[in-house]
Structure 1
C-alpha cells in the first residue's frame, strides 16, 4: 500500500490491533490441536472450529470498518469488552476437540451479544446487522446446552445467516440462469447503490494484512517454541528453525507481493462493493489463513521425535492450499499450457512430502522452504505483470481475458 493510497481511507485503530493480539491466541489453539493429534480427521475438526472463530473476527473487522471510530470511546469499549469472551473461548478451544463445547459456545454467544449491542447502538443503517447478531446470540446460547452433533448444526446455521446480512450487498445477479464470468465480474466491480453499504477498501486491506502477519507470527512462534527443549548441538533443530523462518518469509512474500495490492486495488475500484469484499476477504482469506495454521502444525511436528508421518504432509498440503487461496500463481493469461504448468507446480508442492521417506523431517522442511522461495519469486513476477495489466481499469482488463484466451 502506498502512502497516497493509505490516505484515501481510515487506518486500523490501536484497539483493533489489541483485539487481534487477543484473538490470535484463540486461533493458535487450533494449530496446537492439530499438532497434539496429527490426523486428517483432526484437521477437518480444526477447520470447522477455525471457521467459527474466523467469522467471529470478521464481525469485529466489518463493524470497525463501517462505523468504528478510534475517537469515540463507545466504539473502543465495545472492542475491548469483546476481548474478554474471546479470551475465554480461546482457553476452551481444546475442549471442543474433546467433545465438550459448552463453555466455548457460551463465550461465542457473549461475543455476539456485544456485536449486536454495538450495531444497535450505532448508526440506524446498521440496526439490521444488530438484529442478525441478536439471533446468532440466541443460537449459540442454545447450542451450549444441546448434545452433539446438534451443537455444530446450530453453529453452522448461525454462521450462514450472519454471512447473509453482514457483507453481501445489493449487486448480486437476479437472473435465474447462471451468469457468465464477465457478468459476475461486472456485478462485483459495480459500486453499491447505497453508499452506506460500502466498505473502506484501504482499512479492510490493512486489517486483513495485519492479521495475516499475526498468523505468520504463529508459524514463527511455533517453530521457536517447539525447538526450545532441543540441545543446541542438534543439527535437526537448526535445520528446522532456519527452514521454518525461511518458509514464513516466503509465505509473507507470496501474500504481500502477489495478492494484497491486487485485492485492495479491485475493491477500491468498486468503491467498496460489499459483495466483492465478501469474495476477496471474508471468504477469500479463510482458506489461506487456515493453511498457515496447518503449515505451523506441520513444522511443529517436524521437531518431534519420533516425527509423525503426517508432519511433512501437513506442511506441503498447507503450502499448496495457501498458494491456491492467495491465487499466487494465477496471472492474467488463460493459455492452456500456462494452466498446465500451474497444476504441475501445485502437484509438485504436495509431492514434496514423499521426501520424508528418504530424508529426516528437518531436511524436508528445508527443502520445502527452498521450494517456497522459488515459488514466491515466480509468483511475484506473475502478479507484477498482472498489476501492470490491471492498470486503473480492472473491468477493461477482465474484458480482454476472453480475447486472450481465444488467441
Structure 2
C-alpha cells in the first residue's frame, strides 16, 4: 500500500498507523475503566490529565506521518512500530497512575518521546526543518524521565505537554530584525494568518490524511462506548427488560454521536483545512487542540453509561453521561451556524448545552438506566437539529468557498470595529448643517 491516493484525494492513512492505533484502543480503555473503578470528580480530573498525555503522544505520531511518513520506506514503518512498545507498556500501567505509582508510565512516556525525537532527526523530505521538534521531544523525554524518580510528577508532565503543544504544527512566524521589538498581533491579524497558506510549502499539512486520521481515532473512542454497553450484557439476566431498553439506548446514543461528527463536523473541518492550503495553525485549532475535549468526552460518556448499567449505579453516573454529551456537542461545534449567526442563536446554543447537563437531575426521580434512555433520545434530537444547521453551512461552504470565507472575514471585521469604535462614533454621522466642534 502506498500512502498517497492516486485519485488525487490526498495522502491516505498508512497500514502501520492503523496497527499503532490498536495500542491506544487498550490505553484509552484503561483510562475509562479508571473512572468506573472510582467514580468521583477527582478521578475524572486525573483521567483527563492521563488522557491528555496519551493524546499528545498519539498526536506526535500523527503529525510525523502526515508530514514525512511513507509506508514504502522501511525506516518510517520501524519508527512507528518501535513506538508501540513503550506505548503498550504505558497502557498497562495506567491504573497504577491512578493509584499514585506513575514511575513506569512516566518512563514509558520518556521512551516514546526519544523515539519521536530520533524520527524527526531522520532525513525527512527536502526543505523541512524538524530540528526544533526533535529538540522539543528530547526536552519532554528528560522531563518525563525525571518525573519517574521524583514526587510531584504532574507539574513536570504539564510543562512537558505545554511545550509540546508549542512546537507541534507550527505556523509561520514573522522574522524580526535584530533589536526590533515584536508587536503583539491583533485578533484579526491572527485570524487572517490562520486562513493563509503557509509561506513555506514544507510546513503545510495534508488535510485529507489528517481528517481521516482523526476520524479513525474518534471511531476507536466510539468503539469504547459500544464495548461498554455490550460487556454489560454479560452480567445481566435475559428477562431484565429495563436493562435491554438501556442497552438499545446506549447503542442508539453511540450512533447519534457518530452521526453528529461524521456528517457535519468532520466534513467542514477537512474542507476548511484544505482551502487554507494546509495551514498548520488552523490544523492545530481544528484537530490537535480542537479534538481534545470531544475525544475525552466520549470516554466520559462511556464511563457514565457503564456505571448506569450496574446493579447499584452511583449518583455520578448520570452526571458523567450528560456532562460528557455537553462537552462533545460543544467541542464539535455542531450547533454553530457560522459567522452569520445572530445573538439569539448563540443564546439558544448555550441554553441547549445547559439543558443537556441538567438532564442528570432526572436521576432523582428515574433509575439510572431510564436516564440513559432519555439522554439517548436527547442525543438523537440534537442530531436532527444539528444536521439541519450544519447542512446549510455545508451548502454555503461548498457552493462558493471563497464567498463563505469572505463572509467570515466581514463578520470578524465588523465585530472588531464594534469593539474598537470610539464612544463618540456611536452617535452616528453628523447632519449636513452640523458644525465641526471648536478647537
SS of the equivalent of 2:130 reads helix
Look at both structures and tell me which one has the larger radius of gyration over its CA atoms.
2
Equivalent in 386, 395, 407 of residue 397 of structure 1:
407
User: Which residue matches 2:427?
Assistant: none
Residue by residue over 1:218-244, the C-alpha shift from the partner in whole angstroms, topping out at 9 and shown as x without a partner, is 100011112211111112321221111
Q: Which range moved further: 341-350 or 93-102?
A: 341-350
1:134 lines up with 2:152 in the alignment: no
Gapped regions of structure 2 (runs ≥ 5): 177-181, 419-439
Residue by residue over 1:168-212, the C-alpha shift from the partner in whole angstroms, topping out at 9 and shown as x without a partner, is 2115899745623x4332111011111111111110000000100
Q: Which range moved further: 165-174 or 81-90?
A: 165-174
- TM-score when scaled to structure 1? 0.94
Residue by residue over 1:277-325, the C-alpha shift from the partner in whole angstroms, topping out at 9 and shown as x without a partner, is 1111010000000000000000000011211001011000000000000
CA contact (8 A) 1:389 1:397 kept: no
**What is the CA-CA distance between 1:402 and the residue it aligns to?**
5.3
CA separation of 1:116/1:169 partners in 2, compared to 1, >3 Å: closer, same or farther?
same
Equivalent in 136, 143, 148 of residue 147 of structure 2:
143
- TM-score when scaled to structure 2? 0.87
Residue by residue over 1:130-184, the C-alpha shift from the partner in whole angstroms, topping out at 9 and shown as x without a partner, is 222112111111110011x2x111111111111121212115899745623x433
**What is the CA-CA distance between 1:128 and the residue it aligns to?**
2.4
User: Which residue matches 2:391?
Assistant: 384
User: Which residue matches 1:236?
Assistant: 242
- Give, in whole Å, the separation in 2 of the partners of 1:5 and 1:376: 34
User: Which residue matches 1:106?
Assistant: 107
Higher relative contact order structure (alpha carbons within 8 Å, sequence separation ≥ 6) = 1
How many residues were matched structurally?
Answer: 400
Equivalent in 280, 287, 298 of residue 274 of structure 1:
280
- Give, in whole Å, the separation in 1 of the partners of 2:384 and 2:414: 24
1:352 lines up with 2:353 in the alignment: no
**What is the CA-CA distance between 1:404 and the residue it aligns to?**
9.1
- Give, in whole Å, the separation in 1 of the partners of 2:39 and 2:154: 22
Gapped regions of structure 1 (runs ≥ 5): none
Equivalent in 170, 185, 189 of residue 168 of structure 1:
170
User: Which residue matches 2:13?
Assistant: 12
Q: Which range moved further: 390-399 or 241-250?
A: 390-399
SS of the equivalent of 1:271 reads coil
Q: Which range moved further: 83-92 or 221-230?
A: 221-230
CA separation of 1:116/1:98 partners in 2, compared to 1, >3 Å: closer, same or farther?
same
- Give, in whole Å, the separation in 1 of the partners of 2:261 and 2:337: 14
**What is the RMSD of the two structures over their aligned residues, measured on CA atoms?**
2.0
Write the mapping of 1:323-334 to structure 2, written as runs, cut at 5 A.
323-332=329-338, 333-334=340-341
